[in-house]
Structure 1
Amino acid sequence: MTTQNVVWPLSLLGIGAVTLVFVFVISQARIPATADETRHHTHTAHVIQAWFFGLLLAGFGLGTWLTLRHFPIPAQHTPLQADAVVDVEGFMWGWTMQPQTARAGQTVEFRVTSKDVNHDFAVYGPDGNLVAQTQAMPGFVNKLLVQFQQAGDYTVQCLEYCGVGHGFMKTTLTVSDREDN
């Protein structure tokens, strides 16, 4: 079961609950109330709002933890256990990568930074699907671990608009077979 199959029905239930509360409030709006009843209803409304806010906060916190706990973000300030290291620097409007080759089956650590503005370092596989991505930021090195499963030419491009030459900001990473040296 995918997350979307869970979130969609929960969203519909939440929308339905809000609609029912809205209809109830509108139906009660025509009934005149005394000052004591108004104070009581105001207090009750504040209590309900506080509980509702607390439940929303807990729900968003739990949902965030459930969806992001498996997110593959390696430790950024410790050495990583990688078979190869590729240093990457983004600049308007290109990439420098040393080396520009890797082997299939290897775990590659990309150390990504930028010379000028923020860029988004994205690696696309030979089939055109996104394999991995991270931010390239000036003055900071983001580490990204990728294990390439198949040989081929992988396209590296920027996914964050960085100026008029953004569309041409591409390079190629060549991944060779496991047996090749």
Structure 2
Amino acid sequence: MVIQDEVWLLTLTGISVVALAFIYVIAQAGKSADSAQVQKRAHAIRRWWLLALVLLGVGVAYATLSPFPIANQRVQAPAAQIVNVIGRQWNWELSQSQVRAGTPVEFNVTSADVNHGFAIYGPGDRIVTQTQAMPGFSNRLLHTFTEPGKYRVMCLEYCGLAHHGMVTEFEVVAADKGAQP
């Protein structure tokens, strides 16, 4: 099992234990010898609210984490285009300067020296996607470009004095034109 899955299961187990503790405390609080009908109703309402909040929390966690945006690093990607990226103080080295629009691109991102933030900005200067570039580790970033044009790669992690100049460009061409390395 991958460590990420283990952490996820451990977190869910911890949340369940806390929820059960709350339910136990609520159940024990209603067992006083002098409880009236109003107190029983209040405790019942609290229990339902707790149950609703727990279900809401589980639902929100599942809805936000099930479409997890990070590609599984241990599985072969379905990408038809592969771009190897190396971050160095203070430049990016891309194995291709062109990719095709409409076809998945796998960026294998690593660093030769320090941590860098690999960010791709679209033609409108909005961030399209990003990942971390770390020495000794390769992150796989999968993305399908839909719009042809010039895309910029910039560093999002302060990596030294010339960090601001760590910029390179590549081109996304229409699917029918094809890409050349």
User: Would the TM-score normalized by the shorter structure come out above 0.5?
Assistant: yes
Q: Secondary structure at the match of 1:90?
A: strand
What is the CA-CA distance between 1:57 and the residue it aligns to?
A: 9.0
Query: What is the CA-CA distance between 1:177 and the residue it aligns to?
Result: 1.1
**Counterpart in the other structure of 2:147:** 150
Q: What are the Cα deviations for residues 92-120 of structure 1, in whole angstroms up to 9, with x where unaligned?
A: 01100001210111100000000001101
* Per-residue deviation, 1:56: 9.0
Distance in structure 2 (CA, Å) of the matches to 1:58 and 1:65:
10
Unaligned runs of 5+ residues in structure 1 are 1-54
> What residue in structure 1 maps to residue 138 of structure 2?
141
Equivalent residue number for residue 124 of structure 1: 121
1:33-71 deviation line (CA, Å, top 9, x unaligned): xxxxxxxxxxxxxxxxxxxxxx99987665444322213
TM-score norm. by structure 1 comes to 0.65
Of 60-69 and 71-80, the range deviating more from structure 2? 60-69
| Residue identity opposite 2:159 in structure 1 | C
Give, in angstroms, the shift of residue 81 of structure 1: 0.5
Alignment equivalent of 2:80, drawn from 79, 83, 87: 83
Counterpart pick for 1:166 among 163, 166, 170: 163
TM-score by length of 2: 0.65
Cα distance in 1 for partners of 2:161, 2:132 equals 19
Q: Check 1:60–1:114 CA distance in 2 against 1; reply closer, same or farther (3 A cut).
A: farther
Residue segments in structure 2 that go unaligned for 5+ positions in a row: 1-51
1:114 to 108, 111, 115: 111
Give the whole-Å Cα distance in 2 for the aligned partners of 1:155 and 1:130: 9
Alpha-carbon distance between aligned partners in 1 of 2:61 and 2:164, rounded to the nearest angstrom: 33
Instruction: Give, in whole Å, the separation in 1 of the partners of 2:129 and 2:144.
Output: 10
Distance 2:137 2:54 in 1: 32
Following the alignment from structure 1 to structure 2, what is the Cα–Cα distance between the partners of residues 140 and 106?
25
| 2:87 aligned counterpart, secondary structure | strand
Q: CA RMSD in A?
A: 2.2
Mapped pair 1:101 → 2:112: no
Aligned length: 130
Equivalence map 1:44-59=2 (5 Å): none
Once residues 60 and 114 of structure 1 are traced to their aligned partners in structure 2, the CA distance between those partners, rounded to angstroms, is 37
Identity of aligned residues (%): 45
Letter in structure 1 aligned against 2:87: G
Where 1:167 maps in the other structure, the secondary structure is helix
1:154 offset after TM fit, Å? 0.3
Letter in 1 for 2:158: Y
Cross-structure match for 1:179: 176
- For residues 166 and 59 of structure 1, the distance between their equivalents in structure 2, rounded to whole angstroms, comes to 43
Q: Find 2:65's aligned residue among 54, 64, 68.
A: 68
Report the counterpart of residue 4 of structure 2 in structure 1. none
